[in-house]
Amino acid sequence: MKKLIKIGAIVLGVIAVLVISGSVYFNATYPKAIPVPNVKVQPTAERIERGRYLANNVALCMDCHSTRDFSKYSGPIKPGTEGMGGEVMGREMGLPGIIPVKNITPAALGNWTDGEIIRALTSGLNKHGDALFRLCLIQILFRCLKKICMR
Ligand code: HEC
């Protein structure tokens, strides 16, 4: 019986060591943030217009990243809130928690480099390299945005 307890203790000890060292390794190694691309985008009138068109009409950025008036049919964007965030997506939408939609105007992203914004759009990582919740369509649009952004 004593031998069985001893073996059990050793097995538990080995499991504990594996779990602790595994979680230390995992936390120190992941997520593997890809490096920030070293890019400076020249804001030409043509690019700004293309971005406005994409954000408002194609990629739905503004539909999520603005406050909406859901008292009206189809919940139009409240004028003046474009890109400022303000909506909160929560459990009523089937999500696992509460996700505030972020402000993506220059007031919030002003201290992001062009490379950090491109990395967020193409890889779904924020300025600090942490993963953004996959709800953000930017991750679904990953491939085509990579092409668009790099133009
Ligand atoms: C379906 C709604 C939705 C759409 C569409 C969407 N986003 Fe988002 N976006 C979010 C949410 C929610 C977050 C916050 C995610 C988080 O906190 O993990 C976010 C986060 C971001 C962030 C990171 C901001 C920060 O401070 O960390 C950027 C940048 C961003 N979105 C840009 C865009 C752009 C550009 C588009 C269009 C190409 C877009 N998003 C489309 C919902 C959306």
pLDDT in tens, 61-88: 999 999 999 999 999 999 999 999 999 9
Nearest CA among 124, 117, 115 for reference residue 142 = 124
pLDDT at 90: 86
Return the top range by mean pLDDT from 18-22, 121-125, 135-139: 18-22
Choose between 144 and 11: higher pLDDT.
11
- Cβ-based burial of 83 (10 A; exposed 0-12, middle 13-18, buried ≥19): buried
Mutate to test the pocket of ligand 1, among 102, 111, 114 (most ligand atoms within 8 A of CB): 102
**Residue 66 DSSP class:** S
pLDDT at 6: 93
d(CA 51, CA 40): 16
**Residue 57 DSSP class:** I
pLDDT at 123: 84
This prediction's pTM: 0.80
Cβ atoms of 86 and 104 closer than 8 Å = no
d(CA 106, CA 82): 12
pLDDT at 145: 57
Cβ atoms of 50 and 57 closer than 8 Å = no
pLDDT at 142: 58
Q: How confident is the model over 124-140, as a mean pLDDT?
A: 78
Is pLDDT at 127 greater than 70 in this prediction? yes
Q: How confident is the model over 5-16, as a mean pLDDT?
A: 94
Choose between 52 and 149: higher pLDDT.
52
Ligand 1 centroid – CA 79 distance (Å): 19
> CA of 118: how far to CAs of 24, 81, 123, 129, 144, in Å?
30, 23, 8, 12, 12
Domain boundaries of the chain, sorted by first residue: 1-30, 45-149
Question: Which amino acids bring their CB within 6 angstroms of ligand 1?
Answer: 55, 59-61, 64-65, 89, 99, 101-102, 104, 108, 120-121, 126, 132-133, 135-138, 141
Ramachandran region, residue 13 (left: φ > 0; alpha: ψ -120 to 50; beta: rest): alpha
